[in-house]
Amino acid sequence: MKARVTIMPQAAVLDPAGVATADALKHLGFEGVRSVRIGKSIELDLEHATEEELHQACRDLLSNPIMEDYHLEIFS
């Protein structure tokens, strides 16, 4: 079983990486960019795990709940 966790900075949290990258894209001529947010994607290869365990892993370790939101996808 496999799972993918997408972690993004919370909407209200400043994302300096996203701001810098959006500015760079505009410099390159991509005028249509409104904003860029940069997160990370984590792939897990699992022997077994319940959905609840995975959520716990996301909350406790993989994301920082103070500033990030996560989205969990499970593929059997």
Q: Residues interacting with another protein, by CB under 8 A?
A: 9-17, 19-21, 23-24, 27-28, 38, 64, 66-67
Cβ closest to another protein, residue 23 vs residue 51: 23
Give me the residues paired with residue 32 across strands. Answer: none
d(CA 43, CA 29): 33
Token pair for residue 7? Answer: 């972690």
CB 11, min distance to another protein, A: 4
Residue 25 phi, psi (nearest 5):
-60, -40
Q: How far is the CB of 69 from another protein (least distance, A)?
A: 8
